[in-house]
Amino acid sequence: AADPAVISPQDPTLLIGSSLVATCTVSATSPLKAEDLYWTLNGRRLPPTSYTALGPTTLGVALAHLNGSKQQSGDNLVCHSRDGGILAGSCLYVGLPPEKPVNITCWSKNMKDLTCKWAPGTEGETFLHTNYTLKYKLRWYGRDNTCQEYHTAGPYSCHIPKDLALFTPYEIWVEASNRLGVAVSDVIMLDILDVVTTDPPPDVHVSRVGDLEDQLSVRWSSPPALKDFLFQAKYQIQYRVEDSSEWKVVDDVGNQTSCRLAGLRPGTVYFVQVRCNPFGIYGSKKAGIWSDWSIPTAASTPRSERGAGGCDPKGGEQNTTLRRELKQFFGWVKKHAYGCSNLGIKLYDQWRVWLQKSHKTRNQVGKEP
C-alpha cells in the first residue's frame, strides 16, 4: 500500500541558524485534506501560525533559525492527522561541519604499541554524529593505515596494538567527518623511540634506616620490559604522611634505583610512590614520557625516644644536642642539596664521623683538671 502521506524534504541536513519549509502531502486515495493535518517537532505541536496550505492536500510548515539537533540521531519532524495518527516523519539533522582536530599526542608503552589522543577543535560540539579516524603511515614509503581500536584512552583516542616500525618516522593525522563535511588535522611526525613510556617501576620497597627516626630507604627495580634496549632512565619519588593528601615530590633521583628520604617525622606512616622516565632510547634526543606512579607502598619511621627517661643525664644531653645538630644539618642539606642526591648521603655520613670526633674531643677536654 502507498504511504498515507509524504514529507519533503526527507531527512535534510542543515547548518545551525538555517530556515526550512517542509511539506506534508496526503496520498490521493486518502479522504484527508490539508486542514485535517498538524505538525510536531520532537513531540511538541508546532503553532498553526507557522502553517500554510499549499494545495487541497498539502500542508507546509516554516521553521526559522534552527538550533542544533537535540540528539545526534536527528530531530523528529512528524505530520499527523487530526485524531493524532502519524502519517509521515522526517529527521532534521541541524549542526555544524566538524572542525580540524588539534593537539595530537602519542605514546608507546614499552615500545610495543602506540596510543594517540587529540582534541576535537576549539568548539568540539557539532550537534551531529561526528566520526574521527586516526590515520598513519611510514614517512617515506608507507601506505595509509587506519587505526581500529578507538576510545581506549578517553573519548578522542585510538590504540595501534602492534606491527610498528622503529627507527623510521611516522606521519600521523586525524580526519573528522559528519553530514556537513570533513576536516583534517595537521600531520604530526614522530619516531616511536621518542615517545616511549613504561609500566611503573616494579618491586618498590620502603624500609627503615636502622634506628634513624627521620629517614626511610626506598628501592625499586628498573622497568623489565626495556631490559634488552639501550636506554637511560630517570626516576621520581613522591611521598606523603598517612593522614595527608599532599604529596612531596623528590625530583633529582637520577638513574639510581634506590634513595634515602630524610627529614621525616618520627613514628609516622609514610606512603611512597615511584615513577620512571625512559629517555635517550638508542640515542633518541627527546625528553621521554613519565610512567604512571607505582601503587603506594607504606612504611613507618621509628618512634622518637625523646620521652624515655634515662639514668645518664649526660647521655640525654648529648642526645638532644645531636638532635639539634641533626636538625641544623638537614636544614643545611635542604638548602644546598636536594632530597635524594648521593651528595646528601655522603655528606651526611662524613658529617656524622666529624660529629663523633668532636664529641670525643669535647669529652676529653671536659675531663682535664
Tell me, what's the pLDDT at 101?
A: 93
Tell me, what's the pLDDT at 361?
A: 61
Tell me, what's the pLDDT at 60?
A: 92
Q: Write the pLDDT tens digit of every residue in 130-182.
A: 899 999 999 887 789 899 999 988 889 999 998 888 888 999 999 999 999 99
Task: Provide the 3-class DSSP secondary structure of residue 199.
Answer: coil
Q: How far apart are CA 348 and CA 6, in angstroms?
A: 89
Tell me, what's the pLDDT at 207?
A: 92
- The CATH architecture one would assign to domain 5-95 is Sandwich (2.60)
> Domains of the chain: which residue ranges?
5-95, 102-196, 198-301
Dihedral sign of CA atoms 324, 327, 333, 339 in order: positive
Same fold, 5-95 and 102-196: yes
Residue 78 falls in which region: left (phi positive, over 0), alpha (psi -120 to 50) or beta: beta
Q: Which three cell numbers mark 149?
A: 581500536
Q: How far apart are CA 44 and CA 24, in angstroms?
A: 17
Tell me, what's the pLDDT at 330?
A: 64
Q: Which three cell numbers mark 122?
A: 576549539
Q: How far apart are CA 118 and CA 172, in angstroms?
A: 11
Tell me, what's the pLDDT at 309?
A: 38
Q: In sequence order, which residues have a C-beta less than 8 Å from that of residue 1 and are 6 or more positions away?
A: none
Q: For 207-233, b where at least 16 C-beta lie within 10 A, e where not — what string?
A: eebeebbbbbbbbbebbeebeeeebeb
Q: Please identify which residue in the block is written with the cell numbers 613522591.
A: 238
Q: Write the pLDDT tens digit of every residue in 230-270.
A: 777 889 999 999 888 899 998 878 788 898 998 898 989 99
Task: Provide the 3-class DSSP secondary structure of residue 291.
Answer: coil
Identify the CATH assignment for 102-196 out of 2.60.40.10, 2.60.40.420, 3.40.50.300, 2.30.110.10: 2.60.40.10
Tell me, what's the pLDDT at 324?
A: 67
Tell me, what's the pLDDT at 333?
A: 55
Q: Please identify which residue in the block is written with the cell numbers 602506540.
A: 114
Low-confidence ranges of the chain (pLDDT < 50): 307-316, 335-338, 341-343, 368-369
Tell me, what's the pLDDT at 316?
A: 46
Tell me, what's the pLDDT at 141?
A: 78
Tell me, what's the pLDDT at 9?
A: 94
Identify the CATH assignment for 198-301 out of 3.40.50.2000, 2.70.98.10, 2.60.40.10, 1.20.1440.230: 2.60.40.10
